[in-house]
Amino acid sequence: MSMRNLLIVHGSGTTRNRLKSYILSELDDIAISEVSSSQEAIQKCQEQKFELVLCGKELPDSNGLALYKKIHTLSINKEVAFILVTSTNTAENIKELLEHGITHYLVFPFTSKELRDKINSACDPRRWRAYERIYIPDTQAIIHTKYDEIEANIINISINGVACDFVYSSEHSNLLGSTHITIKFPAEYNSVQVSNLPCKFLRLNVLTWKPDGTPERVHAAWGILGLSIQEKKIMEQIFEESKERA
């Protein structure tokens, strides 16, 4: 599953928590980051690619209208979808949003389903599920968990996710807590290694079982939550080389 990276920008921690709760109750392909100010949002958007920004109209150091304009001047987020949330449902307020180019907005109070529908309208999930997954022989992963590291074979990979095959053992019971993965490409790609990518565990399927009824070999998948510009460039270049070799 391709993950949509979403940035919440709001001065109220209570409101940010409510928005996160709404999103996580309705959508399972959203990776959420949050900040409380315009300055923090700009810094985040200079460092990481987002598919969507969910922003309050009034911010401690600026406002959502100014932030909308600023974010769309940043190279890696110039096409990011933007939803503004406001508590003012007047014709003048809505007109102001539209005049600034903001066509996706929500007026408090709204339900979790209304937020879900607005997110899917502004940022169509079908776009992020269409990333091509690639198989590159002998590509390995190191799955970093709280207590150990698990070595696995990568069976397919994309910019947004990775699926692995490995032999299961009782020590891997903490797999659900895995938060980072290191990807090791084979020698024909100069043994390039992309280390400690933040990730979200998605699913696990048991392929074979031991006679005692415990898992033997499993497939597991993670969504990649964020790549630096350099990491994304490295992986895309390797993917292109892989297609040329096929």
The pLDDT tens digits of the residues spanning 21-74 come to 999 999 988 989 999 999 999 999 998 889 999 999 999 999 999 999 999 998
Tell me the three state secondary structure of residue 141. strand
Run of H or E residues at 10:
none
Half-sphere exposure of 217 (CA within 13 A, CB side): 7
Token reading at 82: 């933007």
**124 & 145 share domain:** no
**62 & 34 share domain:** yes
User: How confident is the model at residue 170, as a pLDDT?
Assistant: 63
**39 & 82 share domain:** yes
167-214 residue pLDDT tens: 877 666 677 677 899 999 999 999 999 999 998 888 778 888 888 888
Q: Tell which of 107, 128, 149 closes a domain.
A: 128
Range with the lowest mean pLDDT among 14-23, 138-147, 172-181, 209-218? 172-181
The number of distinct structural domains making up the chain is: 2
Grade residue 226 by pLDDT with cuts at 50, 70 and 90: confident
Domain that holds residue 226: 140-245
- What global pTM score does this model have? 0.56
Q: Tell which of 94, 128, 162 closes a domain.
A: 128
Q: Is pLDDT at 131 greater than 60 in this prediction?
A: no
User: How confident is the model at residue 126, as a pLDDT?
Assistant: 63
64-100 residue pLDDT tens: 999 999 999 988 888 899 999 999 989 999 999 998 8
User: How confident is the model at residue 130, as a pLDDT?
Assistant: 46
Q: What CATH number did the domain enclosing 194 receive?
A: 2.40.10.220
147 near 165, Cβ under 8 Å? no
Of 17, 21, 22, 89, the C-alpha closest to 57 is: 89
Chain centre distance of CA 19: 16
What letter represents residue 93's amino acid? Answer: N
